[in-house]
Chains A and B, each alone.
Chain A
Amino acid sequence: MWRFIGIRLLQAIPVILVVITVTFFLVRVAPGGPFSAEKAVLPEVKAALEAQYRLDLPLFQQYVAYLGDLAQGEFGPSFKYPGRSVNELIGAGLPVTAELGLYALLVAVVIGGIAGVIAALKPNTAQDYIPMTAAMIGICMPSFLLGPLLVLVFGIYLDWLPVSGWGDIPGDKILPAITLGSAYAAYIARLSRAGMLEVMSQDYIRTARAKGLPEWQVVVKHGLRGGLIPVVAFLGPAFAGLLAGSFVVETIFQIPGLGRFYVQAAFNRDYTMILGTTVFLSTLIVLFNLLSDILAAWMNPRLRAQFGEN
């Protein structure tokens, strides 16, 4: 088991290095630089700006210099926000987005998981159709629509909850968490229903039933483990995706999170910020994919046995 984790962590190094390299050169090729502006910039001004940010060096030298900074844990200064380092911007946005993502995931797993399992226990009955219809609506409902709808109903018409903000007014975290979580809840409901159906027809479940175990024990002890494997495979990238994909929700609710920085950096051609967020995100993705693989392995009895042997 530890060996497996160790190998995967070692593999992460080349992965992140490739991501950095590809991203570094990709953003330089994209049209429009960080200092292009609507009102024409004088050539002297542009040259001065580029000199301040080392953009006047040959590209490869810039790359080497960047890797040097990175080795020391420095992502460099942001181009869009002079006076702010990328470390600082990520440090400001991350806790917010992580908290939002966590709540959203909680909403997603609890609601989605329960709905999916309940539906799978009695397929093709009302107990199946009702939660699954709700899940479908959740999938059809993109967050740019669900967010404003929730705001209109609960924020404006009923006046129960704040329409925007994060940690400023009590209750302002509820609507964003639901908005972000609902799409994932719907996914998880569908995946867990399918996974459960798949598992519940397996031989070992029949064996368990044949032993005379009560149905709920069969479900909880034997069914969930195999049935939720697709969900777990989905969760790893989903959480990393939550962090990057919270952009829409953060914009609707004016939340000061990382998602806004991540997307705006691409629009602003804020090279250091794009790289910084990408490096950060790729680390997260590698870690969460690893985590979900470990979890999936642990849930899969045969694979687990294999790990044990090693």
Chain B
Amino acid sequence: MTTEIITDIAEAEQGSSLWHDAWLRLRKNRLALAGGIILVAFSIIALLTPWIAPYAYDAQNLDLGATPPSAQHWLGTDIFGRDLLTQIMYGGRVSLAVGLIATSVALLIGVTWGAVAGYVGGKVDAVMMRLVDIMYALPFMIFIVLLMVVFGRNILLLFLAIGAVEWLTMARIMRSQVQQLRQQEFVEAAISLGLPPGTIIRRHLIPNALGPIIVYTTLTIPSVMLLEAFLSFLGLGIQPPQTSWGLLISYGAETMEEFPWLLIFPGLALTITLFSLNFLGDGLRDALDVRRSKD
């Protein structure tokens, strides 16, 4: 009797109305909405950068050198006399793309892997999680060097490689969540009803673990962006004059006493993006929270 009711509720709530309700709730959360709008705006700017950037991204003026913000260069120039605003706009294209693609890859692999391991348990779980242990332990840099040598320099490949490394912790978190949820009444009920495991994972386990997933995703995005900067800095990522926020920040950090604007503005761009993501993430989490919404 109770099991039926619970499945019914769950079924109903996972249906199209879930997303509709979530959207209604999200709209009421001003911070989340603002975050979403900023992200969309940044993405549009990134897409349109080649047409709207004030200067060519590689146009140098060596005689000018590094100058603080001025009427010609709103955010100042770097040591090559390149317009910083233009650099940040182009850098955003790389950083947003790496954040989006690498994180999606990590999310997709990590959530599936962790959910399956946690749900199935037993030997499958053991093998899957030991594979995760192995991946953790391999020397990551050698791995990237080899990828670059074998496949050549390719931005997309770099994104995938980063994603392929970042999924590990996600898998562990997802697994521990699923293990915990699996013993809750509504999941046990669903199992006893004979629902196929795929459906249970998709309909009951993942939605209920959304909180930690969303939070960890918002944590993964900055670490992915910084990892890209680290790899690029070592010559394993994008090549100059291409740039990214992470690279701009790492160059800026070197000269923060002499030319602080070279650190502050790229740093602001990254910080605003991450805050927006974060508010949107929290908003989404609250909006999608099945149980809290019943309060």
Contacts and interface: CB of A to CB of B under 8 A. Distances in A.
B87 to A, nearest CB: 17
Contacts, number: 147
Interface of A: 7, 11, 14-16, 18-19, 22-23, 26-27, 29-31, 132-133, 136-137, 139-140, 142, 144-145, 148-149, 152, 187, 190-191, 193-195, 197-198, 201-202, 226, 229-230, 232-234, 236-237, 240, 263, 266-267, 274, 277-278, 281-282, 285-286, 289, 293, 296, 300, 302-303
B255 to A, nearest CB: 11
Main secondary structure of the interface of A (DSSP, over half): helix
Contact of B172 (A197, A237, A281): A237
Interface in B238-265: 246, 249-250, 253, 256-257, 263
Given A136-B275, A286-B133, A289-B133, A263 B141 contact: yes
A285 B139 contact: no
A43 B229 CA distance: 38
Contact of B212 (A19, A144, A195): A195
A230 B212 contact: yes
B219 A233 contact: no
Interface residues on B, range: 35 or more
B1 interface: no
Contact of A296 (B169, B176, B223, B275): B176
25 contacts: A7-B126, A19-B137, A19-B138, A22-B138, A27-B142, A136-B278, A140-B222, A142-B229, A145-B263, A152-B256, A190-B218, A191-B219, A194-B214, A194-B285, A198-B211, A229-B177, A234-B169, A237-B168, A274-B142, A278-B138, A278-B139, A282-B134, A282-B137, A286-B133, A302-B180
Interface in B247-295: 249-250, 253, 256-257, 263, 267, 270-271, 274-275, 278, 285, 289, 291-292, 295
A15 B143 CA distance: 18
B215 interface: yes
B149 interface: yes
A132 B176 CA distance: 24
A194 B215 contact: yes
Contacts of A190: 215, 218-219
A263 B253 CA distance: 21
Nearest to B252: A145
Nearest to A27: B142
A202 B212 CA distance: 15
Contacts of A289: 129, 133, 136, 172
Interface string B154-170: 00000000000000110
B173 A230 contact: yes
B162 to A, nearest CB: 15
Nearest to B180: A300
Given A194-B211, A303-B183, 12 more contacts: A15-B130, A26-B146, A142-B250, A190-B219, A195-B212, A237-B168, A240-B136, A263-B141, A266-B142, A278-B139, A285-B137, A303-B179
B146 to A, nearest CB: 6
Nearest to B216: A191
B226 interface: yes
B41 interface: no
B212 A285 contact: no
A142 B212 contact: no
Contact of B138 (A23, A133, A230, A267): A23
Contact of A233 (B149, B172, B256, B292): B172
Contacts of A278: 137-139
B205 to A, nearest CB: 14
